[in-house]
Amino acid sequence: MKTRLVLTLVAASTYASATNISANLTVDNGFDYYLSTSDSVLGNLIGSGNNWQFTSQFTSALTAGVTNYIHVVATNAGGPAGFIGDFTLDDSSFQFVNGTQQLLTNPVDWAFNTTGFGNPYGTPSSEGSNGVGPWGQVSNVSLSAEWLWDGSDLTSPGPLFFTTAITSVSSSATPEPGMFAPLAFAVAFLARRRSKRA
């Protein structure tokens, strides 16, 4: 019974330290935002938006120990089109393709295609940084984030399939500080139990 309690405490501590991703994004005109553990699979729907003047905000847990992918399916209802966003990780167990815990929309770190995830990707075109016309400044998104779309057709209705990877950092195998207390308890319990048997 006590051994089961120790393992439960350790497991609970590990779960509590899951890496979360915060996303602030919008698309002119609408989007569905997913997290996936395979770049060829759509993944789990995190949220949607259909008003580019409103920045949608989401926080979700990543799947530990594997590469996660941000998937954004973007559509345009007419006129200019664009996708802009600001993404942040809450610890260093994972990193974006730029090697940090913050990622903005830009044509270097994102890829897209017009046929679906897992198909050959191209490089999106930048339509300018947050604040550029016709959109003006979008709230809760860094001024350095760029509006992205298909450079061959900046008014394409889409859908466009935007992707970027979030990789697990190998050093994340080191226990989180919150795990030390349950681990110390487990070691002390097992040592005490072993000394009673001797």
Structure confidence at residue 17 (pLDDT): 73
User: Angle at Cα 57 formed by Cα 55 and Cα 61, nearest 5°?
Assistant: 155
93: left (phi over 0), alpha (psi -120 to 50) or beta: alpha
pLDDT tens readout for residues 110-142 = 999 999 999 999 999 999 999 999 999 999 999
Structure confidence at residue 195 (pLDDT): 56
Structure confidence at residue 193 (pLDDT): 55
Q: Which residues sit opposite 70 in a β-bridge? A: 35, 164
What average pLDDT does the structure give for the chain? 86
pLDDT tens readout for residues 28-52 = 999 999 999 999 999 999 999 999 9
Q: How far apart are alpha carbons 98 and 119 in whole angstroms?
A: 22
Torsion angle in degrees (nearest 10) through CA of 86, 91, 95, 101: 30
DSSP character string of 121-187: PBPPEEEEETT-TTT-PPTTS-TT-EEEE-TT-TT----EEEEEEEEEPGGGGSPPGGGHHHHHHHH
Does the structure show a pLDDT above 80 at 9?
no
Contact call for residues 83 and 74 (beta carbons, < 8 A): yes
Q: How far apart are alpha carbons 90 and 33 in whole angstroms?
A: 19
Q: How far apart are alpha carbons 15 and 35 in whole angstroms?
A: 18
pLDDT tens readout for residues 162-193 = 999 999 996 544 444 444 445 454 545 545 65
